[in-house]
Amino acid sequence: MELVHCIYCSASSNPNLGLADLNSLLAKARATNAKLGVTGILLFHRGSFFQVLEGERDVIEGLYKSISSDNRHTRITKILQESIPHRNFEDWTMGYPHATQQEIENIPGMNDVFKNGRTYIDVCETKARLLLGAFMEGRWHAKLGAIGCV
């Protein structure tokens, strides 16, 4: 079995996407991911999604295909996909970190990613790794736990 992670970003099709929409998306995603053995995190900020998917390669490639054809978002851009020795988010069938703009901008090198007024993040691989690193460090794990992501 080859374990991989896939990271992409996209823009929400609905500029007024609310918490209820996100919660319903997450509830379905978590149920499916639990069955598929998929873990990861989904970040939604200022109209942009940033998602890390990890799991078995064929499963991740199939899931990414479904996600890519979902009309709830556009400009879906795969940033990277590569083999990983172990999962970084094994506790989360899809964690949803409530990171504030300030918290993200405080990550060294990330200050320009979610600039005021930008509704779509075009994150390069280096920045994706910085974001990933900050999440892996556990900066938001307490918050993830607090909202009970399983």
Residues 73-132 that bind ligand FMN (CB under 6 A): 73, 94
Taking the complex as a whole, the smallest distance from the CB of residue 14 to ligand FMN amounts, in Å, to 10
Q: What's the rounded Cα separation, in Å, for the pair 112 and 110? A: 6
Nearer to ligand FMN, 32 or 81 (CB): 32
User: Which one of 62-70, 81-89, 96-104, 131-139 is the stretch in contact with ligand FMN (CB under 6 A)?
Assistant: 62-70
Which residue has tokens 């736990």? Answer: 145
Residue 39 binds to ligand FMN (criterion: CB under 6 A): no
Nearer to ligand FMN, 72 or 115 (CB): 72
Residue 66 binds to ligand FMN (criterion: CB under 6 A): yes
Nearer to ligand FMN, 20 or 108 (CB): 20
CA 44 to chain centre: 8
Residue 8 binds to ligand FMN (criterion: CB under 6 A): no
| Cβ contacts of 103 within 8 Å, gap of 6 or more | 139, 140
Q: What are phi and psi of 73, to 5 degrees?
A: -145, 165
Q: What's the rounded Cα separation, in Å, for the pair 114 and 23? A: 22
| Cβ contacts of 131 within 8 Å, gap of 6 or more | 43, 50, 104, 107, 110, 113, 123
Note the residues at the interface with ligand FMN (CB under 6 A): 25, 29, 32-33, 42, 49, 51, 63, 66-67, 70, 72-73, 94
